[in-house]
């Protein structure tokens, strides 16, 4: 059986944009190495290794000093791969965990000590089954105990359906990748309007990551940039950005240097980039 090819560009360019001191990649992943951190036998996908050392080198190239690593479904509920990377960075990297809705407060406290700051739930068909939204929201009072947040990855068609539930969350809610809207459908499309309405509520946050996933034109993602820029303009105090490295389940890996340079269009002013990359991440994740 052939080994899977890496989902990331092995030779990203150095970005022209200089990021502010303390800039945070608020959304990326680590895969393996599988000899030490094997994949979950039920994993919906099995990527090539993308270990912490490669991520650390990328961040050095891009000028990123802080990071939030999101546990991947390929590793399931075994969060050791992320905990290992967090421990290697002495407080400048934190994590978002995966766990069942039956998780106990004691287990959450154990993860908190390791540097985790939230729980993520996926509502994407290609990532397998997920718990119903009702017990997920019922879990959020436990997250209050730790000052954690809830992170949601959903298809754009589900934003309106999930909204009444997300408004009941006892903790902040972070929406991944701008709700995965289709950039070709324009800013007036109903899923994006639903996302804007959701964000009118002060406990909802959004990640303006994934312009490469939204775009139907490819780099430099001119069709997707207006979505991210609109979110930063309207909700600049609750927007976050991340590389989404190593770009799982993408047919053609983006150049992370190019993705970083797109920030000059997403957040054109230094003040916007300071909020997006530094201040907001500090406030939500508590570095």
pLDDT for position 126: 62
- Evaluate the CA torsion angle 59, 206, 70, 158 in order and state its sign: negative
Q: Model pTM?
A: 0.96
Residues annotated as catalytic are 244
CA separation for the pair 24, 280 (Å, rounded): 9
pLDDT at 266: 98
Q: CA of 185: how far to CAs of 189, 191, 230, in Å? A: 6, 10, 15
Each residue's pLDDT expressed in tens, for the chain with a length of 287 residues: 456 778 899 999 999 999 999 999 999 999 999 999 999 998 888 999 999 999 999 999 999 999 999 999 999 999 999 999 999 999 999 999 999 999 999 999 999 999 999 999 999 876 666 789 999 999 999 999 999 999 999 999 999 999 999 999 999 999 999 999 999 999 999 999 999 999 999 999 999 999 999 999 999 999 999 999 999 999 999 999 999 999 998 888 999 999 999 999 999 999 999 999 999 999 999 99
Q: In what order do the strands lie in the sheet with 66-70?
A: 24-28, 66-70, 93-97, 116-123, 149-154, 173-175, 204-207, 239-240
Cα dist from 100 to 63, 103, 135, 205, 239, whole Å: 35, 6, 10, 22, 27
For the chain, give the number of residues.
Answer: 287
**Which is it for the CA torsion 211, 212, 214, 216, positive or negative?**
positive
Residue 30, pLDDT score: 97
Q: Which domains does the chain have, with CATH numbers?
A: 24-285 (3.20.20.140)
């Amino acid at each position: 059986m052939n080994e899977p090819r890496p989902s990331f560009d092995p030779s990203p360019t150095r970005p022209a944009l200089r990021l502010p001191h303390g800039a945070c990649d608020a959304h990326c992943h680590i895969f393996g190495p599988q000899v030490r951190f094997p994949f979950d036998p039920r994993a919906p996908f099995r990527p090539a290794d993308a270990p912490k050392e490669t991520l650390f080198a990328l961040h050095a190239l891009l000028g990123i000093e802080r990071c939030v690593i999101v546990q991947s479904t390929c590793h399931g509920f075994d969060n050791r791969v992320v905990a290992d990377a967090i421990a290697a960075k002495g407080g400048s990297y934190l994590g978002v965990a995966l766990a069942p809705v039956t998780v106990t407060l004691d287990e959450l406290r154990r993860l908190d000590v390791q540097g985790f700051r939230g729980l993520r739930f996926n509502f994407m068909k290609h990532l397998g089954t997920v718990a119903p939204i009702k017990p997920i929201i019922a879990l959020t009072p436990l997250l209050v105990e730790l000052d954690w947040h809830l992170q949601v990855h959903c298809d754009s068609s589900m934003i309106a359906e999930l909204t009444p539930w997300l408004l009941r969350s006892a903790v902040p809610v972070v929406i991944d990748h701008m709700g995965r809207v289709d950039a070709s459908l324009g800013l007036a499309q109903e899923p994006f309007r639903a996302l804007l309405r959701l964000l009118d509520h002060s406990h909802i946050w959004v990640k303006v990551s994934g312009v490469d996933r939204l775009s139907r034109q490819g780099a430099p993602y001119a069709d997707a940039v207006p979505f991210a820029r609109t979110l930063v303009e309207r909700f600049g105090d609750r927007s976050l950005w991340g590389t989404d490295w190593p770009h799982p389940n993408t047919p053609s890996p983006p150049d992370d240097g190019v993705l970083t340079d797109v920030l000059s269009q997403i957040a054109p002013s230094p003040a916007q980039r300071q909020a997006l990359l530094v201040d907001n991440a500090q406030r939500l994740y508590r570095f």
